[in-house]
Structures are given as structure tokens and as C-alpha cells.
Structure 1
Amino acid sequence: MRGDGDGWSRDLDGVRHWGRFGAAGLLLRAPLDEYGGAAVLLQLRARGRADTRGTWTIPGGARDSHESAIEAALREAWEETRVDTGQVIVRGEHVSTTAIGGWTYTTVVADAPALLPTVHDRESDELRWLPEAEIDALPLHPDFRAAWPRLRARPVYLGGDDELHRLAARTLPRTVDLGAQGFVRLYRSGAPRGRTARLTEGPIPFYQKPSEELLLRPDQVFDQQQTA
């Protein structure tokens, strides 16, 4: 039922968390440039506890009983920012906060094709697409600050020939979920300033060292119709 998740969940230690069935938020990236710049949509909180008002975080809120984390995050993002969720492509999700009693906050990580227009509601004093490289310097919501190192996407550049880059131009740049290793932002090679990646059809190790070339599956680079 719509809205049945609104309300406080009290933890075993007495701490309250918003969302009777947990909560979820949308971390939405969009390209600033083709070879290494990305922006993240953040809101400046107008409401909440005294220690969280005036801090930056992602749009999000309580999950209803029937919703998945993705459904809740997309709904909350639309309600709080009016961003066109029809243009949002979900890349992964991460349980970024877990309370003692089992309450969770799930961050849904997604891409947008451009800096989509937004309209803020009473939850926010401001909405802004902010360069990912500048987020660390902001006054962040405490939970978001704790989760940000795991959620940020470091740039990786796709190696290969001109034909591969031509095909990849349709889907890059994009955020790639590496599971336990976090997220990267994949770009076509231009003038790489960091780690490179290559496609492989072979097995991929569970852990890949950040100092090594990143191995990726085709479905991590191309849309489904391109790999079919």
C-alpha cells in the first residue's frame, strides 16, 4: 500500500531510522565530458534531524512494504526532484547502511544520459548536479559520507581498436558495478589518466588489483541488444 512505509523504525539500541520497511535512495550520475568527468545529483536537505539539515545527500526515503529497493529509490527520486526516471538506467545497488535491528538503507546506483532538469520540493533547499570529484569537500549527510568511499566511481578507460570504440560509443560512459570491489566509471580511451580495461570472454577473477588492467565482460560494456 502506498505510504505504508512512512514512519519510524526503532532499533534495538533505541536509535530511530526513517522507514518502517527500510529506506532507499538514488545515486544518479550523468556525463560532464566524454573522457573522465561525471556529475552526481545531490539534494541539500531542508528537513530532518538537526545534525542532517543543511547537508548534501542523494534523494531517497522510506520503502513501502510492496516495493523493491529500486522501485522505492526511483519513486522517491521522482517525488523529490521530478527527474525523468524514464531516462534512468540502473547499474547496481548497495546496502550502504545496516542498523543493529536489521533496518537497511539501499543505495541504487544509476546513469542518466545528460544533466536532466530537476524541480525541488519541500524536502530540499536546493538540487544540484555536482562534479563527482568535488563531493568530498561538501558538508555531507553523515550516513552518505560514511557510504561515499564505497559508492564513488573511479574512472577506467577501455582499450581496444577503433571498431570496438565505435560500438562502445553508444553506451559509454557508463557506471559499472564490480560487486565487492565497488563501482567504476567506464570511458572510451582518449588520453587515459588512470586505469585501463579490456574485454574478455574468459573467466574473471573474484578480485582484481587496482594496479592491474581491469577485465570486463561484454555485458558490462554494451547494452543487451548489442551483445545478443
Structure 2
Amino acid sequence: MAASEGDGNGWVVSAGGDRRWGRFGAAGLLLRAADPADPDTPLVLLQHRAVWTASGDTWALPGGARDSHENAPQAALRETQEEAEIRPADVAVRAERVTSRMPGTVWHRPGLDMRHVAEMMRRLRPDQKPADSAAGTGPDGRPRTIPPLVQESADAVEWTYTTVVADAPHALDTVPNNESLELRWVPESRVADLRLMPAFARAWADGLRTRPVELVVDVANVLGSRPDGWWRDRAGATTRLLAELGAEIPRTLELPEGFGWVARAHAVLEGAARDAEHSGPLVVHRAPGSGDDAIAALAAELAGEASAGPEGGPRRVVVVTADRGLRARLPENVLVVGPRALLG
């Protein structure tokens, strides 16, 4: 069967009768942006769901059913454009994580145009509580009924919800559609204060929230991870790399232990790369000798400052390098990630 737009509309129903929207699963966009008032705490875009939607009148992420031809980022970006008018080109995807699963079978409502239902629901007042048996009234004044769900296939499927983690350059303007009562940029520290959709509340508490990160970049190692001819002009290649990295800070960074919010970053240069120029947000350290020596000393200094603060300090110190020798020299409370975590 050829893939078509909207072919993901439908329910997956478990043996116990639980329903999840999306024949091929669903995806939502966890979009962050910098908060000028608090560099260490990003803003998160949340959707106050319309009353007629599943788990209506709660807060969650923009998102919806995946179509058969889409991967999770494509579905999450499309749904966010439909529900908030945020263009995919204005968003940088950082990671994706399956945050909910349920086995079941696919069901649908025969003879029902879901776009018609969406338009019908749009016209309901927020204080109206729709049900399957209330789909408006006909000319005779009698209620129109929504056809019941019927099983489409007995074949078992696994429904999944994928949270796509992404960043915006700033808190973008939004325009809600009929699926939202409101769209709001919320400080990450205040998300749990809202009445969240139960599934999103569980996922949020299970590792979606970020921790502030202070990043130290082994520039020589990151530069060497891409064979793009950097050795012909090390200073020039380093200047370009610093500009590329600086353009994405602040940002979300996927970590082995969850997610970090990079509010401050350091770049350590050595050798010929010390002549590189940078006027962006990176704090540049030009090592007088060994770059590894400078990185180890800087990481130890930053980690000591963090551990001296309350509850382990405000920021997690993270070093970006694939150098095993350097890794062995770093303090135990410093986290190490490879260049791919930064470059994608």
C-alpha cells in the first residue's frame, strides 16, 4: 500500500483496552531556547491541550501520530509546524528518545473523516466535554453518533512515543491551531508545576530535564575527528570550527546520564591553532605548552568550583575529547563525551 499523508491516523488498542493515537506510533518535539533572564535554565515550549483531545486540558509537547513514511524527527517537526507554526528550518534536532511503549492492535472508525472530526471539535466551547456519543446534532435535532472503533487487524504491533529533543535560537513566536488552548515558553524549572499530561509527566521525571553544563572542548581532538583538510591551515580550520561551535551555544547536549544545557563553554587551543580567532561565546584558552596539560588543569579547577557549591554545585563539568590518555587524567567528577556528541 502506498504511503499517504495522514495514514497514521488511528488507534492502537491494548489487550486491556488502553488506547494510544497513531497507527505507526507518535512523536513530539521537546524544544528548548535560551532564557535571557537565566542562562542556566532554558525555556521549554509547552502546549496546553484542547479539551477535546486525548488527556485534554493538560500540558504536554506539540506532537501527534506518525505517518508510515516518516521517521520520528520528521513527524515531530511536521506536527509542531501544524500546531505552532514553527518552521523545521528554525530548529536544530539534538536527539531522540522513545519515552513510552505499548503492545496492541490497530483499530479505526469506519466511514469517518478525521479532518471532519477535527473541525467539529474545533467548534466546541472549552467547557463542553465531548464523548464518542456526542458528535453534534442533525437537522431533526437528534444527536449524531461517532461510529464505534472496529479492529482493523489482529496482528500485534508495538506503539511507541518518541520524544525528539531540539533547540531553537531563541523563544520563537508561535500561532496555536485548534488543538491548543495555549502555547507557552516555560522555564524548565517550572515545567513540573503545571498540570502535565500523565505520560509526559512520567517521561519528564525520567530524564528529559537538563542539568546545567560547563563544557571544555579539546579543540585539537575535535578538529582531528573530521578529515576535511584541516592540516593544510590549522589556524584557519580552528577559526571555522570555533565559529561553528559558538553558533550553537547555548544548546542541549545529550549525555550518557541524560541531557545537559550548555550555558558556558571553553575551547583549549595548542600549537599552530593558537593563532585562531574567535569573537563568539566560547571562552578561548591558548595553552602555552601541552593542550592536554591545560585541559586537565582547567577541568580540575572547574570541577573543584562545582563540588564546593551546594548539592554538588550548579554545573556539570563535561570535557569533549576522544583522547584516552587525557580521559585518564581528569577528575572522577568530570564527565567525558566524544566529538560526535558535539558535532552530531
Q: State the partner residue of 1:72.
A: 75
Contact 1:169 1:188 in 2 (8 A): no
Rg bigger for which structure? 2
Q: Is 1:36 aligned to 2:40, yes or no?
A: yes
**Structure 2 unaligned blocks of 5 or more:** 105-157, 219-237, 266-282, 284-304, 307-313, 326-331
Q: State the partner residue of 1:157.
A: 214
Matches within 5 A, 1:20-169: 20-33=23-36, 35-46=39-50, 47-49=52-54, 52-101=55-104, 102-149=158-205, 150-159=207-216, 168-169=245-246
Offset of residue 110 of structure 1 = 0.5
Provide TM-score, normalisation by structure 1.
0.85
Contact 1:84 1:116 in 2 (8 A): no
Offset of residue 220 of structure 1 = 2.7
Secondary structure of the structure 1 residue equivalent to 2:77: helix
Q: Hey, what's the Cα distance between the residues in 2 that align with 1:35 and 1:127?
A: 22
Secondary structure of the structure 1 residue equivalent to 2:103: coil
Provide TM-score, normalisation by structure 2.
0.57
Q: Hey, what's the Cα distance between the residues in 1 that align with 2:174 and 2:27?
A: 19
Q: Which of residues 6, 10, 28 in structure 1 aligns to 2:9? A: 6
Seq. identity, %: 46
Amino acid in structure 1 at the alignment position of 2:172: L
Q: Taking structure 1 as reference, are residues 4 and 160 closer, same or farther at Cα in structure 2, changes over 3 Å only?
A: closer
Aligned residues: 214
Which has the larger share of helix? 2
Q: Which of residues 251, 255, 274 in structure 2 aligns to 1:178? A: 255
Offset of residue 203 of structure 1 = 5.0
Offset of residue 94 of structure 1 = 0.5
Query: Per-residue displacement from partner, 1:89-109 (whole Å, max 9, x unpaired)?
Result: 110101011013311111100
Query: Per-residue displacement from partner, 1:137-172 (whole Å, max 9, x unpaired)?
Result: 1100000001002211111112469x99x6543221
Amino acid in structure 2 at the alignment position of 1:105: Y
Amino acid in structure 2 at the alignment position of 1:55: T
Is 54-63 or 98-107 further displaced after alignment?
Answer: 98-107
Amino acid in structure 2 at the alignment position of 1:39: L
